[in-house]
Amino acid sequence: MSQCLNPDCKLVNQPNTKFCQRCGNKLLLADRYRAVQIIGQGGFGRTFRAVDEHKPSKPPCVIKQFYPQAQGTDTLQKAAELFEQEAVRLDELGKHPQIPELFAYFTQDGRQYLVQEFIDGQNLAQILTSEGYFSEKQIWNLLKDLLPVLEFIHKGQVIHRDIKPENIIRRSNGQLVLVDFGAAKYATATALGVTGTVIGSAGYAAPEQGIGKAIYASDIYSLGVTCIHLLTQVEPFELYSISEGDWVWRDYLPNPISKELGQVLDKMIQGATKRRYQSVAEVLNDINGSPIAPPKISVPQPPQPKFISQSFTEDLGNGVKLDMVYIPGGTFTMGAPVTEEGSRNSERPQHSVTIKAFLMGKYPVTQAQWQAVAKLPKVNRDLNPDPSRFKGANRPVERVSWYDAVEFCDRLCRLTGKAYRLPSEAEWEYACRAGTTTPFYFGRTITPELANYDGNYTYGSGTKGKYRQETTTVGSFPPNKFGLYDLHGNVWEWCADHWHSDYQGAPNDETIWLSSDKNSSRLLRGGSWYDDPGYCRSACRHDLNADYDNLYFGFRIVCSAEWT
């Protein structure tokens, strides 16, 4: 079915309908997301189960619509800010498996929307109602599962501020997912000392949240209250005695629990912040030291790429080597979110892409490598053996067109018998990111000490620095986690694909994306020594005629991993 998103209509239309049969409202958001059913509604918005029409399997997702029903300009403005803030937080927290992934955030028909991952499962409030109170073992497992998630968001300087059973969903495999970051805030050193918005759910919010001063320990408090509620199946207000000024939750336990768990929970829910756990690390330390707790809890670190023996060096003769690095296969989100500084519509919609393993040049092709291959017999076109303006054997070759780069690959194929070619755009971005989701593979900002670009300009919180006004020797700056160098700046790198104005209809694998127009321009990635840092982002795309060359343009080659 197709649910109309117009709050004044709400008609459920037949599947595949493009416009509401009652009010004429457009049913597809961003021409791809179709609401199927209303699954939630509150004072400031509605939530829909939805599908992504651009995916063959039409996987489920969630649409959140900002639809305020409260009155008052200040209230509405704050609600709108919180809605946008939720999109920012989801995007910033990246691809943690226990936080919903943000797919899109935009405005359509005058209303704000965000689209995020659908978490298939029940929240803990629903489970408590259907299955009854939790056992001690279930609480230990809950802490083991969720504390590392809290550690992760706190390291990202974010406080959730609304942890409660309704905001914790249990997947079908038992894994817990923390949802609803609408109340989350940055926890910078300045913000922690400033009174802000009073926010949080009554009964679960820490006392300091009542005066607008949430801290990291506020989330620990809320998680502790969630645990005693699940243990007793009694509302938090009844578990605290006003007359005694203390928690009396043990009086409501259906079964006794261990002293060790009781001590951990007591310290989590201390009203006085000085007597409460100050950090997740302190909670984990006590739990890991408990003789009856489950196996040691550790905060998972992002998986590191495994470099294997399939990397190799091609001998081009006369001491010239070409290093090829093995890039393991995987899935990533291609493109930039709307919240990324300097991003463009050509970098959207973001979409999931699965890449097969391949090999990629450790550096952009150097002048020494170019000269070695240019001496080889012609395949389709002549090559200038020394085209570069900025001379240096180990500087990247520049002033080469797309056709020149293809000829280089063709000659190398004939010499070695291996399938060398230009990378597809998807392969290039996957290799550049190396598992990261930030604008650059080394983080959210960039400085001239990390890459070669026009240092007169800044990005994010970066600082100005040296503008070198020329290329630099390859490998002069830090590599990414795959061991690749110079992907940000130095020279733009040609890709095999034709240019498309955005990612509508883009492949979901490493396929080279061609168009029917043979004269279509070709893709360049990575920025150059001449450009400001925004052009050096992992997601940035540029296009030019295939026969155009300039002192900003070079290339990097790839090779199939199958021959190994």
Burial class (CB in 10 A: 0-12, 13-18, 19+), 432: buried
Read off the DSSP letter of residue 153. H
Q: Which residues contact 553 (CB under 8 A, 6 or more apart)?
A: 398, 399, 400, 401, 491, 492, 494, 524, 528, 544
Q: Is 538 helix (H, G, I), strand (E, B) or coil?
A: coil
The answer on whether 58 is annotated among ligand-binding residues is no
Q: Helix 216-232 crosses helix 136-155 at what angle (to 10 degrees)?
A: 160
Q: Which of 229, 163, 230, 471 is nearest to 238 (CA)?
A: 229
Query: Cα(first)–Cα(last) distance of the chain, in Å?
Result: 49
CA distances in angstroms from 139 to 125, 143, 214, 241, listed in the order given:
14, 6, 25, 23
Active-site position among 52, 91, 145, 162: 162
The answer to whether the beta carbons of residues 225 and 203 sit under 8 Å apart is yes
Read off the DSSP letter of residue 534. G
Give all strands (DSSP E) within 166-311, no chain letters.
Answer: 168-171, 176-178, 185-186, 240-241, 246-247
Q: Which of 117, 51, 52, 44 is nearest to 84 (CA)?
A: 44
Question: Is 162 a catalytic site residue?
Answer: yes
541, containing H or E segment = strand 541-544
Q: What sign results for the dihedral spanned by CA atoms 291, 163, 65, 40?
A: positive
Catalytic residues: 162
Specify binding-site residues for ATP.
64
Binding residue numbers:
64
